[in-house]
Structure 1
């Protein structure tokens, strides 16, 4: 018996589009580029030879078009794993639920998703300007813990090693992080030889969760020192960002292929930053468009 999705669970607008994104099923390509900043959608779409549609709703801006014969959708997600939860569930619904019958489609449609973002580097080999592909993500957000099957897709041994190193085992006030791998084939295709393959912490915020202290003191002032010294089976943590874990985790549970690649715009270890990165990130955009 096919699963039926009630109107309270799958929200469809009167025009037949999905609730938050306002995208219709026929407007979604199999290849999807995700960006945080709605302004970056235009940067990606500027490379398209043709544009089919441009849709804007809240922080979610979507353009579907053609690049070198490939049909590609670019979507802005806004900031944070909570928005990734919205975007991933709605993209999957567009691909795999019949909006007329509200039932799951018989034939599964797999999406290929690459998130292009910015991040903070945590190691000497991730100076400002480095492109880092998140081979593994450590989710401080806790999002995947709300979904069945979480343990079957996560690296539980890595999780335990990280929790022990941070001293968070048994601490009810600490995060409950999960460790998830991005799609290996997609990582190989996008990273190739010139990009750093790293372990990314997806933080639940920009300040405290990433060890930044302004007027409110940190619960653990040594958090970043411990993160920078963590090593497990040859892996070290390379960077901070805010979305990669939810993207990799939900995609794996749903059966899609996904990964995150970020440009380092600040290095926390050597205390350098570059806020004028917009021209450089276009180089990364072009590389992803060529390889997706």
Structure 2
């Protein structure tokens, strides 16, 4: 029996429900951005654009950069959006949308997130680039799935112990990046570390407006976290969810972060747009070597 209509929802034209995409609309190599306006900033570098669509915050453009076909897709903010994006992308390549049956021959996509972030350490300055060697999910979304085979329990246990994590918030999950993509994108100028993924922007990231925090010292504890030389370098809202779902579904994922703020030194990039564009061109030129 095929997957029921209520579980895999398609639009009247046969495209997947939220992304408004059909299988031939996407390339094998996909760049994720959070902001829909950043899609065109990346595809402005392309030689040509063959396809463009947008539904809600999900904007997609597919084209060619120096002979390589690439897709750029905006995910919006947060792990919940990543749950939609990864599952629907996987459906495009690994489920026959007519029979609603999983394909016998599965496809592994290459997914690279290009995002902005703030550094937690003085030695990772503004305008630098951080590669997320691991994603550490504090959001609990991925715990809806069976994760045991893809998580690093040693990092999780160390984080829980070193931060005195409250079990009522759910168990954090640690997922490694794709070794193949890390090797492709790496260079001596890249910083590496653990990227913590929060489930929100204010309280979950330690910001206080009018509400008290469950653990007002959590950010400081994350600053000092270290497990076998792995430290938390930055904090954002998507990486761990991308890593987790990609690992479970058999895709390769890597998160690259343009550092536009440094909390340890209290500095902010004098030209954050240049920092982001530097990361964009860096990733694009690395991808064409694949």
Give the structure 2 partner of residue 239 of structure 1.
234
Deviations 1:87-137 (A, max 9, x none): 000000001111111111121111000000011110112221111010011
Deviations 1:196-229 (A, max 9, x none): 1111101111121111222222221111111111
After TM superposition, what 4+ stretches of structure 1 lie above 6 angstroms from structure 2?
Answer: none
Is the partner of 1:145 in helix, strand or coil?
Answer: helix
Give the CA deviation at 1:68.
1.1
* Aligned pairs for 1:98-117 within 5 A: 98-117=96-115
Give the structure 2 partner of residue 263 of structure 1.
258
Give the structure 2 partner of residue 185 of structure 1.
180
| Structure 1 contact 81–141 (Cα < 8 Å) conserved | yes
The CA RMSD measured in Å over matched residues stands at 1.3
State whether structure 2 residue 134 is matched by structure 1 residue 136.
yes
| Structure 1 contact 182–248 (Cα < 8 Å) conserved | yes
Is the partner of 1:173 in helix, strand or coil?
Answer: helix
Q: 1:155 aligns with which of 134, 138, 152?
A: 152
Comparing 210-219 with 101-110, which one deviates more in the overlay? 210-219
Is the partner of 1:151 in helix, strand or coil?
Answer: coil
Give the structure 2 partner of residue 167 of structure 1.
164
Provide the rounded CA distance (Å) in 2 between the counterparts of 1:107 and 1:281: 37
Provide the rounded CA distance (Å) in 1 between the counterparts of 2:262 and 2:285: 28
Q: Label 1:19 to 1:190 Cα distance change in 2 as closer, same or farther (>3 A).
A: same
| Structure 1 contact 31–73 (Cα < 8 Å) conserved | yes
| Structure 2 contact 39–74 (Cα < 8 Å) conserved | yes
Give the CA deviation at 1:4.
2.2
* Aligned pairs for 1:62-77 within 5 A: 62-77=60-75
| Structure 1 contact 191–197 (Cα < 8 Å) conserved | no
| Structure 2 contact 134–193 (Cα < 8 Å) conserved | yes
Comparing 173-182 with 83-92, which one deviates more in the overlay? 173-182
State whether structure 2 residue 267 is matched by structure 1 residue 272.
yes
Q: 2:81 aligns with which of 80, 83, 88?
A: 83
| Structure 1 contact 153–253 (Cα < 8 Å) conserved | yes
Comparing 127-136 with 272-281, which one deviates more in the overlay? 272-281
When the two structures are aligned, how many residues end up with a matched partner? 287
State whether structure 2 residue 241 is matched by structure 1 residue 282.
no
| Structure 2 contact 260–275 (Cα < 8 Å) conserved | no
Structure 1 unaligned runs (5+)? none
